[in-house]
Structure 1
Amino acid sequence: MQNKTFTDQLGRTIHINYPPQRIISLVPSQTELLFDLGLDEEVVGITKFCIHPKEQFKKKVKIGGTKTLSIDKIRALNPDLIIANKEENQQEQIEVLAQEFPVWISDINTLTEALKMIKQVGELVAIKTKAIQIADTIKANFDNLIPSSKPLKAAYFIWKEPFMLAGKHTFIDDMLTYCGFENVLSESRYPEIDIETLQQLQPQVILLSTEPYPFKQQHVEALKQHFPKAFIALADGEMFSWYGSRLLLSANYFKALHKSISFI
């Protein structure tokens, strides 16, 4: 073991015993990446939302939710590396953990940043070659994905009561672009919006995400009365918002989704 220095996506410097042997992941998409890199034994703790792969989810210690971490459970696992995310984890909790353990934080709003994260994590855990292979395969899948036709105006729902949509400067917004859509919102992040305001924006496509709010077909039917000319469907939230190795599946999903669009 040796002590090595790394810089995360916030520009923070951390020092870890290299390669790390006791890793805790605080983000589902990054947890899946770690297991796809072959770190079955090294990952000792995950959140209750880190559901992929299922076999590992059943076996690993759960340390709370992404925004409701159990600091005591994390301490008991004595990690030599914690992998977190700026948006998905609470700053206050991360600051507490960073005083005691090396915490590497990602900050991802685009596919380019996701691919960089995958390669950086590969270096961080000493599995660089496989991480590069995953990133390069994802990039190749996405390279020719954007349809040549004019982008369709789209709205992407992530929450209900109140309705919240994915706006600009989000990873979901970047994925919408690759899917052949143009976000109807001009606001950044995840603004609340009412039906009347959205009607004025005249979306051609409305997608209701399966996470974080679990939209169902009944919600699709309810919106049809307000947007009779729009194509409304459920969207696999993992394909639009997971920025780890699940992106290996996203390009084909986007291609199929775009082909499925029909207008009344």
Structure 2
Amino acid sequence: MRVVSLVPSLTEAVAVSAPGVLVGATDWCTHPAGLDVVRVGGTKNPDTGRIAALAPDLVLANEEENRGPDLDALRGAGLEVLVTEVRDVAQAFAELTRVVLACGLRGRPRWLDEAEAAWAAVPPAPRAPAAADRPRAVVPVWRRPWMVLGRDTFAGDVLARLGVDNAYAAHPDRYPRVPVEELRAVRPDLVVLPDEPYRFTADDGPEAFPGTPCALVDGRHLTWYGPSLATAPRVLGAALRAAAG
């Protein structure tokens, strides 16, 4: 098999499950460290000509991270494109299984079983926000302009399962643009600030929400579906509990 991945989390999943299968990945594919493959541009602007020149048997993509016109161009070049859709934790495990099997594995890798076991110990997300014992959070994913998690997102389900309700879970958009003044007016119990796709830091983000606890979290544990799922409940859960008090 020769595989090109246009999704950082899938790149990591395939690289650790089937070493040597990947021949190309995006510039944003940072894990595993030292991955030595041809870089084919960004997730939103891949070099379709370079990808075609690699003659992959399969291109891995995601309906949220990659653009339809780019995927159509790859199909037009005669390439097979597998497009994943991940809106919650359960769907992540199903799609990861589909991906690794499509890449030639005969069974599920150990890390995938370990990740599923780790999440099996976490209660399912409630169908509706629970009572006052659950903190309500604003979760920015970008700044200039401010964008937050809205409805029907994988990261939102991760947080809900870890006991944190998304203040914008009922918004009609999945990633609404919301002025920071409105975000403050929501009066959240917690602001969750990941380090990707926008790199929020202690000096860039918390100052916009004076008086509100902020959790600076590893975006890989919040938004990636791959080997990081095995440690996400423990690492992300600890960060959220520490910030919420």
Tell me the TM-score normalized by structure 1. Answer: 0.84
Q: Is the 8 A contact 2:15 2:21 kept in 1?
A: no
How many angstroms does 1:126 deviate by? 2.6
Give the superposition deviation at 1:221: 4.0
Q: In structure 2, the residue corresponding to 1:93 is in which secondary structure?
A: helix
Deviations 1:178-237 (A, max 9, x none): 221001112131001112322332210101121111112112441243xx1x21131211
Contact 2:215–2:239 (Cα < 8 Å) also in 1: no
Aligned partner (choices 178, 184, 190) of residue 175 of structure 2? 190
Residues 40-66 of structure 1 show CA distances to partners (whole Å, capped at 9, x for unaligned) of 22210010011101121xx21001111
Aligned to 1:36: 16
SS of 1:219's partner is coil
Deviation at 1:85, TM superposition (A): 0.6
Which residue matches 1:6?
none
* Counterparts of 2:46 and 2:216, CA distance in 1: 30
The reply on whether 1:139 has 2:119 as its aligned counterpart is: no
Report deviation, 1:105. Answer: 0.5
Asked if 1:241 is matched to 2:223, the reply is yes
Pairs within 5 Å for 1:64-213: 64-99=41-76, 100-131=78-109, 133-146=110-123, 150-185=133-168, 186-187=170-171, 188-213=173-198
Q: Percent identity?
A: 28
Higher strand share: 1
CA distance in 1, matches of 2:164, 2:153: 14
CA distance in 2, matches of 1:64, 1:167: 28
Q: Deviations over 1:132-186 (max 9, x none)?
A: x433322221223349983210111111111100111111111111221001112
> Does the CA-based 8 Å contact 1:220-1:234 persist in structure 2?
no
In structure 1, C-alpha distance between the alignment counterparts of 2:153 and 2:206, rounded to whole Å: 27
Equivalent residue letter for 2:213: F
- The answer on whether the counterparts of 2:12 and 2:226 sit within 8 Å (CA) in structure 1 is yes
Distance 1:124 1:189 in 2: 29
Structure number, greater radius of gyration: 1
Q: Distance in 1 between matches of 2:95 and 2:175?
A: 23
1:121 Cα deviation from its structure 2 partner: 1.5
Q: Structure 1: state its 5+ residue gaps.
A: 1-20
In the aligned structure 2, how far is the partner of 1:220 from the partner of 1:195?
11
Three-state SS of the structure 1 residue aligned to 2:139 is strand
- 1:104 and 1:211 map into 2 onto residues whose CA distance is 24
Matched, 1:223 2:208: yes
TM-score, normalization by structure 2: 0.90
Measure, in 2, the Cα distance between the counterparts of 1:254 and 1:165.
18
| Ranges of 4+ aligned residues in structure 1 off by more than 2 Å | 128-131, 133-136, 143-150
